[in-house]
Amino acid sequence: MQDRILGAIAVLVAIAMAVGARDYVAPIAYEPIGPRAVPMLLAVLIGLIGLWLLLRPTPSGTASVASVGHGDGASPILPLRVVVATLAIVVYALLFEFLGFTLATALMTVPIARLFGGSWKQGVITGLAMGVVLYLVFDRLLDVVLPAGLLKGLL
């Protein structure tokens, strides 16, 4: 049931993001795709994931993640995961300009990977790969200017 609620919230957030981003226009056209591309892409991704959570079949005979091992249905680890994920995003936003997209993305990916059961090694490798690949895609391929931060001159 919690997955369905999260899915519905994600769909509503995606719709709000898309409505809010449709009017994004740069006063000077310095990028070929404009400022609305990234929020629109994120809205589509959030919406698709939300729909998947809403529409996916519930496996029969399995308990929800929140109720595994707890008779009351509440998982003490769930709030901790939400707090850690929120802190990772806040730290990401604060360090984004200084560290640059690549390093900030790599550093945010590690705790998120750990929350989803990944090892430290998997988190670091995935974070570095995501940071570099997404930087190259957005900066080089889509001409979206991203801060290089401490790696200025390397990328």
Q: Is 71 within the bounds of a domain?
A: no
Same domain flag for 91 and 54: no
pTM comes to 0.55
Q: What is the mean pLDDT of the chain?
A: 80
Q: Are residues 46 and 94 in the same domain?
A: no
- Segment 101-154, tens digit of pLDDT: 999 999 999 988 988 889 999 999 999 999 999 988 888 887 788 888 887 877
Per the domain annotation, does 3 fall within a domain?
yes
Q: Is 69 a member of any domain?
A: no
pLDDT at 66 over 50: no
Query: Do 82 and 153 fall within a single domain?
Result: yes
- The answer to whether residue 36 is domain-embedded is yes
Based on the fold, state whether residues 86 and 48 are members of the same structural domain: no
Q: Which of 34, 60, 86 is the last residue of a domain?
A: 60
Return the pLDDT at 120. 93
Scored b (16 or more CB within 10 A) or e, 106-128 reads: bbbbbbbbbbeebeeeebbbbbb
Quote the CA–CA distance of 84 and 131 in Å, as a whole number: 20
Domain count, the chain: 2
| Domain that residue 119 falls in | 76-155
Note whether 7 and 50 are same-domain residues: yes
Residue 85 and residue 53 share a domain: no
Q: How far apart are CA 87 and CA 95, in angstroms?
A: 12
Within this chain, do residues 42 and 116 fall inside the same structural domain, yes or no? Answer: no
Last residue of a domain, one of 60, 87, 111: 60
The verdict on 113 and 153 lying in the same domain is yes
